[in-house]
Amino acid sequence: MTMRERWEDQAGQWLAWARAPGHDSFWRHHGEQFSRLLPPPGELTLDIGCGEGRLSRQLKSGGHRVIGLDASPSLIAAARQSDPTIAVIRADAASLPLADACADLAIAFMSLQDVDAMPAAVREAARVLQPGGRLCMAIVHPLNSAGRFAGLAADAPFVIQGSYLDSFTYSDPVERDGLSMTFHSAHRPLQSYFAALEQAGFLIEALREPSTPEAIITRDSSRRWLRVPLFLHLRCLRP
């Protein structure tokens, strides 16, 4: 199965996970930090990999004119149902049904690690952006996806078995507060993302490795993540 098919298979679980108040990493870890990276609303903002539409709805409330795009029919239907006033299109990120230079902001929040053809998706983001437009993206940090902590102690070593430099797909089953979700993603080394951005003509304006907020540290084992970044945020300029 492709990652697209796997995410469609998990659509019901993802809806429950994403819409549980304060449950997902978007609310718990880095949604607010990512929002600080975004330029102010302009002509048109594209939410690439919008899923069930949570970020699209937040962007709209902040004054953005938004088009959401996702490959999952189930998640697209859920996004439309949540807010019919937001235009939502079922589309492959690697082949967007949009005109050249139609937008001034493209956002890929936690989606590019779940896209099979990531370099093509980055090229498409560049194509649909106007000169001077920006791509803002968040991904699972490649260090995070490459390894695991050896234990639960706050000072447990972080171990990479195999090669960080090799790309591979993985499935990460997670259970919390009575909800379960399996995340299907691809580990790619940092150079793979930067090569895709370089080949698409993007220039990096900002890079952030957001730390886990102290406010959500409720047990000693969570302190492991104060030493290793969970996510990577980038703001890129299309010259």
Nearest to 110 by CA among 217, 7, 222, 238: 7
Amino acid at 188: R
- pLDDT at residue 46 tops 90: yes
Pairing verdict, β 103-109 and 129-140? parallel
- pLDDT at residue 219 tops 90: no
Q: How far apart are CA 102 and CA 85, in angstroms?
A: 19
Among the ranges given (78-87, 93-102, 135-144, 207-216), the one the predictor scored with the smallest mean pLDDT? 207-216
CA 67, 130, 119, 162 dihedral sign is negative
The pTM is what?
0.95
Q: What is the DSSP track for 76-138?
A: HHHHHHH-TTSEEEE-BTTB--S-TT-EEEEEEES-GGG-TTHHHHHHHHHHHEEEEEEEEEE
DSSP state of 154: T
Confidence at residue 234, expressed as pLDDT on a 0 to 100 scale? 98
Confidence at residue 25, expressed as pLDDT on a 0 to 100 scale? 87
DSSP state of 28: I
Q: Note whether 208 and 233 are within 8 A (CB).
A: yes
> In whole angstroms, how far apart are CA 200 and each of 78, 140, 165, 173?
32, 21, 21, 33
The token pair that represents 135 in the structure block: 């791509």
Confidence at residue 195, expressed as pLDDT on a 0 to 100 scale? 98
pLDDT digits (tens, 9 = 90+) for 89-126: 999 999 999 999 999 999 999 999 999 999 999 999 99
Amino acid at 166: D
| Average pLDDT over every residue of 135-139 | 98
| CA angle (165, 171, 175) in 5-degree steps | 130
- Residues linked to residue 231 through DSSP beta bridges, in sequence order: 140
Confidence at residue 238, expressed as pLDDT on a 0 to 100 scale? 98
Confidence of residue 197 (pLDDT cuts 50, 70, 90): very high
Q: How far apart are CA 27 and CA 25, in angstroms?
A: 5
Confidence of residue 71 (pLDDT cuts 50, 70, 90): very high
Q: How far apart are CA 170 and CA 7, in angstroms?
A: 13
Confidence at residue 214, expressed as pLDDT on a 0 to 100 scale? 80
Amino acid at 101: A
| Average pLDDT over every residue of 66-91 | 97
pLDDT digits (tens, 9 = 90+) for 3-33: 999 999 999 999 999 999 888 889 888 999 9
Q: Note whether 8 and 74 are within 8 A (CB).
A: yes
Confidence of residue 1 (pLDDT cuts 50, 70, 90): confident
Cα-to-chain-centroid distance, residue 163: 23
Q: How many CA atoms lie within 13 A of 90 on its CB side?
A: 11
Confidence at residue 29, expressed as pLDDT on a 0 to 100 scale? 84
Q: What mean pLDDT value characterizes the chain?
A: 95
